[in-house]
Amino acid sequence: MESMAETEPIGVITSRTNGSRVFVLSAQAWSQIEKQLFNTFSTGASSFLVHLGEYYGRAIVREAKAGVQPPAFERVLQTLASASGWGEISVKGLTRGDTAFTVETRNCVFCSQASQLKSCYFLLGVVAGAAGETFGKQFEATEHQCGHSGSQVCRMTVEPAESRERTGLIPAVGRVLG
Ligand SMILES: [Zn+2]
Ligand SMILES: [Zn+2]
């Protein structure tokens, strides 16, 4: 974990990037949380996870922007994913955030456990929220390939909400269907 350091006092882990505290969750326990959410809220669980991710992604970008040298969108996502144990993220086809682009995650943790959920909803929300906060408008993310259905890579299309109707993709943020 290149951007995290365990320091004194005991039980405190801080980010090397900005010195703020971080904490770690077990992937297996997280998948149990998702399972319970699904049992309680059925398909509403996916929407809940997307929103949770969106708020987290927005907060992470705000934190990064507060630094002396704010990193670019791709760097923020890559650092977040690698330091958090989420996987290896790459961004393709991103220009100025006014058209659709692709986010790919290898070794994605969110589909590494068996789940009733069909997609990496939390990560979808993080990516859309981080894009929204970076470019100052609403983004929607849709996952086309996912480890939940056997893919080696989770591949998402991310696009400004206003351009969604042109491509006809099913939106992830705000209106998840299942
Ligand atoms: Zn995944
Ligand atoms: Zn996935």
pLDDT 10s digits, 35-92 = 999 999 998 999 999 999 999 999 999 999 888 788 899 999 999 999 999 999 999 9
Three-state DSSP state, 7: strand
φ, ψ for residue 108, nearest 5 deg: -65, 125
Q: Which ligand is nearest to the CA of 106?
A: 1
Residue 118: predicted pLDDT:
86
Express each pLDDT in 134-144 by its tens digit. 999 999 999 99
Q: Which CATH superfamily is domain 27-167 in?
A: Trafficking protein particle complex subunit 3 (3.30.1380.20)
Express each pLDDT in 92-102 by its tens digit. 999 888 999 99
What does the alpha-carbon distance between residue 175 and residue 178 come to, in Å, rounded to a whole number? 9
Q: How far is the CA of 107 from the centre of ligand 1 (A)?
A: 8
Binned at pLDDT 50, 70 and 90, residue 174 comes out as very low
For ligand 2, an ion, list residues with CB under 5 A: 111, 120, 146, 154
Residue 17: predicted pLDDT:
76
